[in-house]
Structure 1
Amino acid sequence: MKSLLIVAHAPSKNTRLMAEAVLKGAQHSDIDLVQTRWIPPLDVTPEDVIACDAIIMGTTENLGYMSGALKDFFDRCYYPCLAVKQGLPCALYIRAGNDGTGTCKAVESICKGLRWKFVAPPLVCRGEWQASFLEQCEALGMTMAAGLDVGIY
């Protein structure tokens, strides 16, 4: 059994729906060999990351940067995970009121330092709320879990 960890900051109804959509996709009925957990960033421990086989991070865009909660996650988990989780498959989604560029760069820079491997370009859900954001998030969760399920990651 593989483990997929979703570390998603969801301070609003819409961002909660996005995290739930990622979780729903990852728990698709055709995916048999992947156990998925969603843990808010402030509750994740280095041991949670060390125990996972892949990670999806979700954040809001806050002043052109990731949420403070996701930054706190990285601050606490970076060094304990650095040597033992190199090559960890990862993905990112962002709920961006603007363009998400600064948020993407910040998270990608930290993940590069951790030597994590992005399996897809960051999903940036920009501008006014759209129902299609949930479909995109569900597809991201399903893609990551399916890749783990069949041994691609």
Structure 2
Amino acid sequence: MTDGHLLIAWHGRTGTSEALAASAAAGAAANGSLLPAADVSPDDLLAAAGYLFVCPENLASMSGEMKEMFDRCYYPVLGKLNGRPFATIIAAGSDGEGAQRQIDRIAKGWRLKRVAEPWIVNTEAQSPEAILAAKTLEPSTLQTAREMGEALAEGIASGMF
């Protein structure tokens, strides 16, 4: 039995994913919960009515910590999340498609239902220094993340998804 909330699971190292996830959580307000990927358990996934997964693309893949969350939780919840809504935000220095594909394949296995178009936030960081540097996002990008969190949480609460 779910408690009707949106779980926002995130991982990041340079501030981008964390800021996007925190903004989405602010939009979801009381209907959302924000957890670092390292802290997400199968029970957290089972308790939530929907999901927003936020992570960077590292070396054309989702971040290792996000992958670890999926590895740890995949089989304990398999067959128990069918039809629940999900969305993604990928922070990337280029295209972000590799990380997006990985999460989509996992979501397909869990039989989740995508309810928002994939969102890839491209920071255009290409040099080692730019990739490793702390990132600051435009207020409009953070506002879009806030609106996404609000829309997902409202869609779950209203039974629209």
Query: Fold-level match, TM-score > 0.5?
Result: yes
Where does residue 144 of structure 1 map in the other structure?
152
Quick one: which amino acid aligns to residue 23 of structure 1?
Answer: A
- Name the count of aligned residue pairs: 147
Q: How much has 1:11 moved relative to structure 2?
A: 2.0
Q: How much has 1:130 moved relative to structure 2?
A: 4.3
Q: Counterparts of 2:151 and 2:40 in 1: how far apart (Å)?
A: 23
Q: Counterparts of 1:50 and 1:83 in 2: how far apart (Å)?
A: 11
Quick one: which amino acid aligns to residue 5 of structure 1?
Answer: L
1:61 counterpart (57, 60, 79): 57
Q: How much has 1:20 moved relative to structure 2?
A: 1.0
Is contact 2:89–2:120 with CA below 8 Å preserved after alignment? yes
Q: TM-score if structure 2 supplies the norm length?
A: 0.85
Where does residue 94 of structure 2 map in the other structure?
98
Identity %: 35
Pairwise CA RMSD: 1.4
Where does residue 79 of structure 2 map in the other structure?
83
Is contact 1:10–1:19 with CA below 8 Å preserved after alignment? no
| Structure 2: runs of 5+ lacking an equivalent | 125-135
Q: TM-score if structure 1 supplies the norm length?
A: 0.90
Is contact 1:50–1:84 with CA below 8 Å preserved after alignment? yes
Find the residue that maps to 2:58 and give its secondary structure.
coil
Quick one: which amino acid aligns to residue 75 of structure 1?
Answer: D
Where does residue 130 of structure 2 map in the other structure?
none
Structure 1 runs (4+) greater than 6 angstroms displaced? none
Where does residue 124 of structure 1 map in the other structure?
120
